[in-house]
Amino acid sequence: NHPVALSDYTPPDYRVESVHLTVDLHDDVTLVRADLSVVANHDRTKGIRPLVLDGRGLVLRCIALDGKPLTTDEYVRDDETLTIHHVPEQCTVSVSTELKPQENTLLEGLYRSGGTFCTQCEAEGFRRITYFPDRPDVLAAYTVTITADRATCPVLLANGNLAASGDLPDGRHYATWHDPFPKPSYLFALVAGDLVKVEDTFVTKSGRRVALQIYVQSHNRDKCDHAVRSLAEAMRWDEEAFGREYDLDLYMIVAVDDFNFGAMENKGLNVFNSRYVLARPDTATDADYAAIEGVIGHEYFHNWSGNRVTCRDWFQLSVKEGLTIFRDQEFSAAMGSSAVKRIQDVRYLRTHQFPEDAGPLAHPVRPETYDAINNLYTATVYNKGAELIRMLRTLVGHDAFRRGMDLYFDRHDGTGATVENLVSALAEASGRDLTQFMRWYREAGTPEIHVTGSHDADTKAYTLTIRQGVAGGEPLLIPLAMGLLDRNGNELSVHLDGEQAPLEPGRALELSRQEETFCFRGIPEEPVPSLFRGFSAPVRLHYAYTEADLALLMGKDGDLFNRWEAGQRLMTGTILQLVADRRAGQELRLPPALVEACGTLLTSGGNDRAFLAEALTLPSENLLGEQMKEIEVEGIFEARRFVRTALARQLRGELSALWDQCRPTGPYRFEPAETGRRSLAACCLGYLMTLDDPSIRQACLRQFREADNMTDSLSALTLLAHTEGSEGETALAEFHARWREEPLVIDKWFAIQATSPLPDTFARVQRLLEHPDFTLANPNRARSLILSFAVNNPVRFHDRAGGGYRLLADHVIKLNSLNPMIGARMAEPLTRWRRHELNRRERMKTELERIAREPTLARDIRDVVTKGLA
């Protein structure tokens, strides 16, 4: 029954009102009994439909209807379903199944991570635990009884509130949990293990006390403070920004080391990849702290956008994921610098979503069909989905947006919603017709926006002509936030011809036609337009900026995002020109405009150090590659390296001075001024290290050894390990010896080596695959070595001999039986073959074909490979 089509959606034939699960955990065989209160949900006068339950990989012990065991001729089973043909209008279905969680390497359903029993049910993991209508529009109240050995599993957790607990014979014990909020099966969770609890309390705005509990292995007890603080901050922020209050008396988070993605928002019992919980200044970087804050926030915000209001079917995934990413982005922006957060979010979108949308895996934010549900958890659904919510807010205004969200949450509470439900609530609250906006949800691809400007000195009129090109041809509704600058960089009043008053600051123009013009009056001289301020729409802008325009915007634009954007355009243009010069055999020269612009940033760029660090950072090799029709891997690498070194040579004094000003003045604190200071220091040191100066290398080694925090230590280690010289090896060995007992730190050790631009990296990656600390069974470890190499080291991964491609395909094949969800993600880089020159193209394709020839390919991997070859 694949692919699944949105047009085939029908409501469930049966609802499940309540579920009682009993899970008897043992080291060998785990027994699950599910008692389901089933109610028909179709017109039985027109015929009685069978009850179809989903189930995969289950050993069925017995099944009963209203207490009466069914014989094998009363139901039918295949690999994916169990069908009972004759069921009354209301009944209890009882199913007993056997599982072996200790053998489950998929990390879906019930599995063990380091001895802890835990579950991952989204999207279709619950069917690996018991037979059930495993779809998001079947919402039930759950009561869960867990029994286990008390000595090895003293902690027994499930969703909701603890209803009862106690001892059982043979050293076993039990706990019964009840979740009063009806939920889909994908939000079910169970955890059992030997864990310690770190606790705090949060008082909601209406005065209810909520216990916040984080469960970790005992040696991680001292790494939970930041997660607890982030949770309380997220709860407060959601009350203030969205009026959303938490609804249970208990909020639990469990950290496990083996987890396929970031975290899971199970009602009242989040399960987290430990990398998004555990942090201590000496083990986690600022980026880790920020990611923890963001992911803790994200999972918490799902309590409303995902749990109280879930999605009707998986095609609507973005109503929970796009919306929740938007909410977590806003939360993180409020916790630090909003401009810097916006820059980072847009960089992520351009690095991950734009290429996805331009390649064989492209799909709309709400797709029409899918083959493998796990592959729908994409940057498009999540991050482009968040951009759509952001545009909706710009279009309807902040106040109407808030009213619309309230309406959406109230109206759909306790049900599964659709994209139409979400957009309608915003339309109603604002009184706007958003029909045209729905195209954004239907069309794949990044719109190309072509803008030209013309100035008439006589009439003092300035006209912008804007043309949109999008895959489907029909125009989109696009908010264009903009401003006009005079040649001194002063903001001009933007007064549209025919309108009474100038455009209010922050109000965007709206594009709705294939081509349209906007005429501004009272513009004395040719202005420089600042377009798509704050990245007001996820589009590619084409406007013929001169170097002088860009330098002006970079130094003077009132919109910080567009100041950064102008710098990136200037850098990108420079590097791509050098790629062409190199190809033409010309000597490479750094244009003075870029040196001057960077020099100005270094000496008088202002006090926002986090912003300065972003502004001084060159676009990545991957982003540069995105700008080329055919990616010139070596050309980009060499030209970018040339610019970095040449800038460092010419601005050495300024870089050293700024680096000096950014020295630490006290112990580690995770706060905006300090993270900004550290990132600017790392940026300056990065440039200085290109100079290959022994005194700078020694200073870098000292920083690595003496820093009181992982941020400074790791930035120094990375620079040492990524440049020639013996200090790199020494530092890597010291780092491993010091941190061998900390898996999350050892992940960093693998990733640093995998991303080194040094010529021996491929051989090193091969050796590291044999390292005793390497295992493919742990997704974090597999990603840190293999995906880091494939994604973040273009010049070594795309080695012309094709070794990188072979290595990647070998591991996709290994993961085919071990963990196909991760295997599918690993296959993705190979699907980008069309972007490369002939030799690489052929080799990448050959590897995809080799994977495709595997006799039994898991659905997740087959889906990616088939699309990649199509």
Choosing among ligand HT7, Zn ion, none, which partner's interface includes residue 120 (Cβ < 5 to 8 Å by kind)?
Answer: ligand HT7
Contact call for residue 375 and ligand HT7 (CB under 6 A)? no
User: Are the CB atoms for 293 and 335 separated by under 8 Å?
Assistant: yes
Q: Tell me which residues in 543-572 interact with ligand HT7 (CB under 6 A).
A: none
Contact call for residue 328 and ligand HT7 (CB under 6 A)? no
Choosing among Zn ion, ligand HT7, none, which partner's interface includes residue 845 (Cβ < 5 to 8 Å by kind)?
Answer: none
Quickly list DSSP for 779-813: HHHHIIIIIHHHHH-HHHHT-TT-HHHHHHHHHHH
Place of tokens 């900004």: 676
**Catalytic option among 299, 565, 632, 828:** 299
522/397 Cα distance (integer angstroms)? 27
Choosing among ligand HT7, Zn ion, none, which partner's interface includes residue 123 (Cβ < 5 to 8 Å by kind)?
Answer: ligand HT7
User: Are the CB atoms for 782 and 789 separated by under 8 Å?
Assistant: no
Q: Which is nearer to Zn ion, 94 or 332 (CB)?
A: 332
Choosing among Zn ion, ligand HT7, none, which partner's interface includes residue 345 (Cβ < 5 to 8 Å by kind)?
Answer: none
Q: Tell me which residues in 287-306 interact with ligand HT7 (CB under 6 A).
A: 298-299, 302
753/763 Cα distance (integer angstroms)? 11
Q: How far is CA 485 from CA 210, 488, 545, 556, in A?
A: 51, 8, 13, 9
CB of 420 to ligand HT7, least distance (A): 21
Using the Cα atoms of residue 238, residue 240, residue 242 and residue 248 in order, give the sign of their dihedral: positive
Candidates 233, 258, 321, 632; binder of ligand HT7 (CB under 6 A) is 321
Q: Tell me which residues in 263-322 interact with Zn ion (CB under 5 A).
A: 321
User: Are the CB atoms for 868 and 360 separated by under 8 Å?
Assistant: yes
Q: Which is nearer to ligand HT7, 297 or 868 (CB)?
A: 297
Candidates 40, 82, 93, 123; binder of ligand HT7 (CB under 6 A) is 123
- Residue 141 makes CB contacts below 8 A (sequence gap 6+) with 17, 18, 19, 178, 179, 180, 181, 182
Q: Which is nearer to ligand HT7, 286 or 328 (CB)?
A: 328
Q: Which is nearer to ligand HT7, 231 or 528 (CB)?
A: 231
Candidates 94, 97, 119, 120; binder of ligand HT7 (CB under 6 A) is 120
H or E, element range at 417? strand 415-417
Q: Tell me which residues in 210-269 interact with ligand HT7 (CB under 6 A).
A: 260-261, 263-265
What does DSSP say about strands 155-158 and 109-113: parallel, antiparallel, or unpaired?
Answer: unpaired
Q: Which is nearer to Zn ion, 323 or 481 (CB)?
A: 323
Give the single-character DSSP code of 75: E
Place of tokens 């060998």: 28
Q: Tell me which residues in 384-403 interact with ligand HT7 (CB under 6 A).
A: none
Q: Tell me the residue nearest to ligand HT7 as measured from the CB.
A: 261
Count of residues for the chain?
Answer: 870
What does DSSP say about strands 140-149 and 540-542: parallel, antiparallel, or unpaired?
Answer: unpaired
The pair phi, psi for residue 217, each rounded to 5°, is -70, 150
Contact call for residue 377 and ligand HT7 (CB under 6 A)? yes
CB of 272 to ligand HT7, least distance (A): 10
Q: Which is nearer to Zn ion, 187 or 576 (CB)?
A: 187
CB of 263 to ligand HT7, least distance (A): 6
Choosing among ligand HT7, Zn ion, none, which partner's interface includes residue 545 (Cβ < 5 to 8 Å by kind)?
Answer: none
b/e for 837-859, b at 16 or more Cβ within 10 A? eeebeebbbebbebbeebeebbe
CB of 264 to ligand HT7, least distance (A): 5
Q: Which is nearer to ligand HT7, 302 or 832 (CB)?
A: 302
Facing residues of 482 across strands?
Answer: 531
- Residue 620 makes CB contacts below 8 A (sequence gap 6+) with 351
Choosing among Zn ion, ligand HT7, none, which partner's interface includes residue 14 (Cβ < 5 to 8 Å by kind)?
Answer: none
Among residues 68, 59, 116, which one has the least CA distance to residue 91? 68
CB of 324 to Zn ion, least distance (A): 5
Choosing among Zn ion, ligand HT7, none, which partner's interface includes residue 678 (Cβ < 5 to 8 Å by kind)?
Answer: none
CB of 321 to Zn ion, least distance (A): 5
Among residues 302, 364, 360, 349, which one has the least CA distance to residue 328? 302
CB of 322 to Zn ion, least distance (A): 9
Q: Which is nearer to ligand HT7, 111 or 132 (CB)?
A: 111
CB of 120 to ligand HT7, least distance (A): 6
User: Are the CB atoms for 785 and 774 separated by under 8 Å?
Assistant: yes
b/e for 417-453, b at 16 or more Cβ within 10 A? bbbebbbbbbbbbbebebeebbebbebbebbebebeb
Q: Active site includes 387? A: no
CB of 24 to ligand HT7, least distance (A): 25
User: Are the CB atoms for 860 and 375 separated by under 8 Å?
Assistant: yes
Facing residues of 202 across strands?
Answer: 210
Q: Which is nearer to ligand HT7, 299 or 443 (CB)?
A: 299
Place of tokens 């606790």: 199
Supply 586's token pair.
């010309």
H or E, element range at 562? helix 560-583
| Active site residue ranges | 299
**Positions in the binding site for ligand HT7 (CB under 6 A):** 120, 122-123, 260-261, 263-265, 298-299, 302, 321, 374, 377
**Positions in the binding site for Zn ion (CB under 5 A):** 321, 324
